[in-house]
Amino acid sequence: MEYNIRPWKLADAENIAEALNNKKILDNLRDGIPFPYTVQDAKEFITAMLNADKEMTYAFAITANNKAIGSIGVFRQTNIHARTAEMGYYIAEPYWGKGIGTSAIKQTCDYIFKHTNIIRIFAEPFAHNIASCRILEKCGFKFEGTLRKNAFKNGNIIDMKMYSILKD
């Protein structure tokens, strides 16, 4: 099986809707993603990514033999933070634990540092999201500290962790 990242295609909508219709994934992401997540929701997301400002949003499908099984995006910040960017990602549950997340983060960071002027990529997983923290560490991200009580999610106040990787 070959795992890669590539630009989105509208035809990915069905696969991505299936992947994201999973509370275990949504519970680890920001709010605002519909549940249940329909093919129409996925089409709107993909359309938004394809139409986004190419200097601000770098969005990729994560693929297994070219089938979309996840999503990874890097979002440039603004003002004095314009050369930093936040990264977010998820993978369909049947594909967890195979190293795909680690590979997708490495490929994405390589792309960003090679093709843009971004010098810092950060991610803020929930402190209890061990898998996400682990893959960031495996990709060379440094743990910078705990963001105490930084989120309100599903009725709970939650710590987050700040990880970053620098171009050099």
Binding site for ligand COA (CB under 6 A): 25, 28-29, 89-91, 96-102, 123, 125, 129-132, 134-135
Q: Can you state the angle between helices 13-20 and 39-51, rounded to 10 degrees? A: 120
113: left (phi over 0), alpha (psi -120 to 50) or beta: alpha
Nearer to ligand COA, 43 or 128 (CB): 128
Taking the least distance from each CB to ligand COA, the nearer of 30 and 55 is 30
Q: First CA to last CA across the chain, in angstroms?
A: 32
Whichever of 76 and 161 has its CB closer to ligand COA, that residue is: 161
Q: Is the dihedral of CA 123, 137, 105, 23 positive or negative?
A: negative
CB of 6 to ligand COA, least distance (A): 17
Q: Least Å distance between CB 59 and ligand COA?
A: 15
Nearest to 26, CA basis, from 160, 162, 154, 164: 154
Is the Cβ of residue 55 or residue 94 nearer to ligand COA in the bound state? 94
Q: Please, are residues 95 and 137 in contact by the beta-carbon 8 Å criterion?
A: no
Q: Which residue is nearest to ligand COA (CB)?
A: 101
In the bound complex, what is the minimum distance in angstroms from residue 13's beta carbon to ligand COA?
A: 18
Instruction: Name 164's bridge partners.
Output: 122, 142
CB of 32 to ligand COA, least distance (A): 14
